[in-house]
A and B are shown apart, each in its own frame.
Chain A
């Protein structure tokens, strides 16, 4: 007996909501970054679920794309975070608001 798809989708929605909320309310750059990863993986879970339900490999292919993008994002994002932490001990996203146009 397999787990119903709805469960996966609910889990994905909860994870996405957690990620989104975390992104909005936290100031720590590292935590915000992890929230984004959480949201991406929630979406991945949705993709995989539908891929299984609809018997369509396209959803799983999309997951690969998302993973690649996420990996690239990690590279750039972590580099930025490292640079920020080099400048000051505790950096929040709000500290760099003067980068606005």
Chain B
């Protein structure tokens, strides 16, 4: 199965070529190269997937060792690939959605002076994610994990000449580092306990409860950072400073799903610790609810989607923590489809309005965007969990698992479902319906010297084909994708496919009675419809509703401000103390004292050199006399 090597190799080759030759390739060509590499990687993944399909369920795992990466004494860490159902599933949607986003970017990034750099980063991003997923040990996964962090830094700060983008990139990187510490501590624990990082060794041993809790929580801390859960979710909304395809890539295919993957991969560790499972589900549920409340009140079209991603990731962790890994992964895949669709459609809207992102200045766009509008509507219905679109089925599976874990978690999930439907309805109504408000604003911008708006006549235009084709494909996936794991008719492909990875010993099977299932489904549909109806009722006519938009929600519960006051304030002061007092006075003082003593003695000794020959001669004579005196004394004794 040598196609396996091609999965990471193609994006890597693309990234290297674009890194060194990007300037020569120039505009459309470098974009097409990146797209071809991503699509090639997807094709290679499909080939591997088909070959795995032909095997027995228990034999579906191929190991490919590329080279021994760290050969130290008894520790052998390989740069090796492990192609099993979980990693291949992830690769399928990472490369699949990733290729569509790369294709879309050709249109979206048209005319950008750093066109090639963007595609270099996209390919490097996909490559890092593939390494993370395909690695056969935790350390090699960590390599991809850090690569993802680096590429996200480069992409969020792609327009680094904007202050906000540079700050957002830094924030994402630093926040992720906090999570990475968790991952690194988990690595240390693994090394200390097993002396090995290989999934094969680590995931098949019996662990004591407390050790498993510590290890699982540290791994989960890493996942919290990458997947933007409480308390490390703040970077994700700010990551909207990057170009829109980046948001789609980060939210749908790469980066944030890394945490979900890590938790799913570590399931055999986590199942030893019920405390860790509870932590994961509670954090997931809390994040889902918190982010959903914030999303209700954002005015930036992308920020709403960003908070909805945080919220949906909470659902995924809720599902995984509740022991139904299949449901969490199902939702990850569905979310990849519809969130990529939503972001790319939002990108098309922003593109049409020449970089306008404020929803309050949109409206009535359904008449001007004949492809984007239905695409966005499909994404909206999928995210709002209206059957039969994608989101409903996977969310229903998660809610059933949550019900089994604890009705309280389920209640939070249902409430979140209501809020999700509400804020998405608000977004759709503000953007696509009602009065068109962009026209006046476009005139203002034209008067202010923004000639792009005037040249286009002030009328929004539909995006080029490179942008609409991915929209259509993703829309189709958002309508039909749920069939991958439908809960009836023997269609639960994902569950069957993943079954060898989550045997009953790891994820004990539980059954929710059919009647309860129906009830759960009906309740969540009722809540979703209620959210939809209240959204329509509230936002059909009005653009500003101060009572529904309290400042506390617009400011995301003042959590960011609070963090910067309480943490950054004392932290800055401490850093200043270290910088100016301890480093500036103590450390530098010692160094300066040494150098100063040499300088001072030199200054004094310089006086000896008068330049008068007689002084030197006197010195020589005196020296000779002294030596003579000494020698004669010695000779005398």
Interface of A toward B, CB cutoff 8 Å = 20, 23-25, 27, 32, 93-94, 96-101
Contact (Cβ within 8 A) A98 B611: yes
In the bound complex, do residue A97 and residue B610 qualify as a contact, i.e. CB atoms below 8 Å apart? yes
In the complex, what residues of B have CB within 8 A of residue A97's CB? Answer: 610-612
B609 and A24 form a contact (CB under 8 A): no
- Bound-complex Cα distance A98 to B612 (A): 9
Closest to A100 in B: B611
Known: A25-B614, A98-B611. 16 other contacts (CB 8 A): A20-B621, A23-B614, A23-B617, A24-B614, A24-B618, A24-B621, A93-B613, A93-B614, A94-B613, A96-B611, A97-B610, A97-B611, A99-B611, A100-B609, A100-B610, A100-B611
Q: In the assembly, what is the distance between CA of A101 and CA of B612, in Å?
A: 12
A32 to B616, CA, bound (A): 13
Q: Considering the chains assembled together, what is the distance between the CA atoms of A38 and B157 in angstroms?
A: 83
Q: Is the CB of A101 within 8 A of B613?
A: no
Q: Which residue of A lies closest to B625 (CB)?
A: A20
Closest beta carbon of chain B to A85's beta carbon, Å: 16
**How distant is the Cα of A59 from the Cα of B611 in the complex, in angstroms?**
35
Q: Once the chains are docked, how many angstroms separate the CA of A92 from the CA of B62?
A: 95
Minimal beta-carbon separation of A90 from chain B (angstroms) = 16
Contacts of B611 in A (CB 8 A): 96-100
Q: A28 → chain B, closest Cβ, in Å?
A: 11
On chain B, the number of residues with a Cβ less than 8 Å from chain A's Cβ atoms is 10
Bound Cα distance A53, B610 (Å): 43
How far does the alpha carbon of A100 sit from the alpha carbon of B606 in the complex, in Å? Answer: 10
| Bound Cα distance from A27 to B613, whole angstroms | 9
- Using Cβ atoms and an 8 Å threshold, which residues of chain B touch A98? 611
Chain B residues, Cβ within 8 Å of A100 = 609-611
How far, in Å, is B319 (CB) from chain A's closest CB?
81
A93 to B611, CA, bound (A): 9
The reply to whether B609 and A101 contact each other, CB–CB distance below 8 Å, is yes
Please tell me if the beta carbons of A24 and B612 are within 8 angstroms of each other in the complex. no
B620 to chain A, nearest CB (A): 9
How far does the Cβ of A23 sit from chain B's closest Cβ, in whole Å?
5
In the docked arrangement, what's the CA distance between A78 and B358, Å?
91
Q: How far is the CA of A32 from the CA of B614 in the complex (A)?
A: 10
Cβ contacts under 8 Å, A93 to chain B: 612-614
Max chain A C-beta neighbours (<10 A), residue from B609, B610, B611, B618:
B611
Which residues of B (580-631) have their CB < 8 Å from a CB of A? 606, 609-614, 617-618, 621
Q: B86: shortest Cβ distance to chain A, in Å?
A: 76
What are 10 inter-chain pairs, A to B, with CB distance below 8 A?
A: A25-B614, A93-B612, A93-B614, A96-B611, A97-B611, A98-B611, A100-B609, A100-B610, A100-B611, A101-B606
Q: How far is the CA of A24 from the CA of B606 in the complex (A)?
A: 22
* Nearest chain B residue, comparing its CB with the CB of A32: B613
Closest 3 CB pairs of A and B: A100-B611, A97-B611, A93-B613
A94 touches B617 (CB 8 A): no
Complex Cα distance, B401 from A58, in Å, reads 109
Residues of A within 8 Å of B609, CB to CB, are 100-101
A94 to B617, CA, bound (A): 12
* Whole-angstrom CA separation of A99 from B612 in the bound complex: 9
Residue of B nearest to A29 (CB): B613
| Chain A nearest Cβ from B632, distance in angstroms | 14
Q: Among the interface residues A23, A25, A27, which one has the most CB atoms of the partner chain B within 10 A? A: A23
Q: How many angstroms from the CA of A25 to the CA of B618 in the assembled complex?
A: 10
Residue among A20, A32, A101 with the highest chain B CB neighbour number at 10 A: A20
**B359 → chain A closest CB, angstroms:** 76
CB distance from A15 to the nearest CB of B (A): 15
Distance in angstroms between the alpha carbons of A23 and B616 in the assembled complex: 11
Separation of A82 and B614 alpha carbons in the complex (Å): 20
Measured in the bound complex, the distance between the Cα atoms of B559 and A79 in whole Å is 86
Give Cα distance in the complex from A77 to B606, angstroms. Answer: 26
Q: Which residues of B contact A23 (CB under 8 A)?
A: 614, 617
Determine the distance from Cα of A99 to Cα of B610 in the docked complex, in whole angstroms. 9
A99 to B609, CA, bound (A): 10
Alpha-carbon distance A24/B616, docked complex (angstroms)? 9
Q: A99 to B613, alpha carbons, bound, how many Å?
A: 11
Interface contact B610-A24, CB-CB below 8 Å: no
Residues on the A chain within 8 Å of B618, using CB: 24
How far, in angstroms, from A100 to B611 measured CA to CA in the complex? 4
CB-defined contacts of B610 to chain A, threshold 8 Å: 97, 100
Shortest CB-to-CB span from A41 to chain B, Å, is: 17
**Shortest distance between the CB of B606 and any CB in chain A (Å):** 8
Q: Complex formed: what's the CA distance from A23 to B614 in Å?
A: 7
